[in-house]
Amino acid sequence: MRSIIKFFSEVKAEFKNISWPKRESLIQLTIVVISISIIVSLILGGFDYLFTQGIALFGQSVKPVKTTQTPIVTPIISVAPIASPSVTIKPVKK
């Protein structure tokens, strides 16, 4: 029990040593992070849109090839069962 109390008292002492940022600094850094996130998402969304439209245009310009070949039919092969050695069962008399 003493080790748990000692742990929490050391945690409390360490919290006093932390240098927390000022409110103004925290707000500015938060705005920077949100702004960069929005800019990166817009850039990635734009590239995604361009690639999607490019693939769609490429898919429309390629015409399907009509084949005149007959379909390949695989033959069905039947295999006779393997003969097992003959076993005779004698009835048991009571």
The most distant pair of C-alpha atoms in the chain lies apart, rounded to whole Å, by: 104
Q: How confident is the model at residue 82 (pLDDT cuts 50, 70, 90)?
A: low
Range among 50-54, 62-66, 82-86 with highest mean pLDDT value: 50-54
CB 25 within 8 A of CB 17: no
Does residue 60 lie in a domain region? Answer: yes
Q: Is residue 37 part of a domain?
A: yes
Let me know if residue 35 belongs to a domain. Answer: yes
Determine the structural domain holding residue 28 and report its residue range.
Answer: 22-64
Whether residue 49 lies inside any domain: the answer is yes
d(CA 60, CA 50): 15
Q: Is this model's pTM higher than 0.95 or not? A: no
Which residue has tokens 């006779």? 80
Write out the two tokens for 71.
């379909």
On whether residue 70 sits in a domain, the answer given is no
Judge whether 8 lies within some domain. Answer: no
Domain count, the chain: 1
Classify residue 79: in a domain, yes or no.
no
Give the model's pLDDT for residue 58: 81
Q: Is residue 48 part of a domain?
A: yes
CA 83 to chain centroid: 52
